[in-house]
Amino acid sequence: QVPFVATQTTQRMEEGDIFAIETFGTTGKGYVRDGVGVYGYGRNEHAGASGGLVHASSSTKALLKTIDQNFGTLVFARRYLERLAAGEVKNYHLGMRSLISSGVVETYAPLVDVEGSYVAQFEHVSFPSLSLLNS
């Protein structure tokens, strides 16, 4: 994590590290918080390859395979899942519920500010490289 305020840490960026810097712009007061509901899903990177789904249904396992192949651990919206081939993820709701309850997939709430305002996310990727500095 890259803090946006001064902190007392010994952690430093090193060559080869990759950072995703997410900033949020808002037309509100600038105090973004989690809202109600789910705007996205993300594969829990600590859940393991099979996610411990020994007794899961075949449709749940197929959904997990689809998530792994198309999104990996990147957060994705429901509409991205629904845009995939219709036969591939046609009835995914029960499988998704199972993946969430088992901790294999995590949910993300929408970010909100004051009522009526808009919030936008911007993402920048940074990878420190000494070789670029020396060229």
**pLDDT at position 71 over 70:** yes
Q: Are 112 and 29 contacting, i.e. CB atoms less than 8 angstroms apart?
A: no
Q: What is the pLDDT of residues 16-30, one digit of tens each?
A: 777 778 888 899 998
pLDDT of residue 106: 94
The pLDDT, as a whole number, for residue 52 is 66
**pLDDT tens per residue across span 117-127:** 998 888 888 77
The CA distance from 68 to 60, in Å, is 12
* Mean model confidence pLDDT for the chain: 81
Minimum mean pLDDT range among 3-7, 39-43, 77-81, 111-115: 3-7
pLDDT at 134: 57
pTM (predicted TM-score): 0.68
- The pLDDT of residue 60 is 84
**The dihedral formed by the CA atoms of 107, 112, 118 and 120, expressed in degrees to the nearest 10:** -50
Least confident of 8-12, 28-32, 93-97: 8-12
Q: How many CA atoms lie within 13 A of 83 on its CB side?
A: 7
- Which pLDDT score is estimated for 82? 82
Under a CB-based contact definition with an 8 Å cutoff, are residues 42 and 76 in contact?
Answer: yes
With 0-12 CB in 10 A as exposed, 13-18 as middle and 19+ as buried, what is 1?
exposed
For residues 7 and 110, is the Cβ–Cβ distance under 8 A?
Answer: no
Q: What is the pLDDT of residue 118?
A: 92
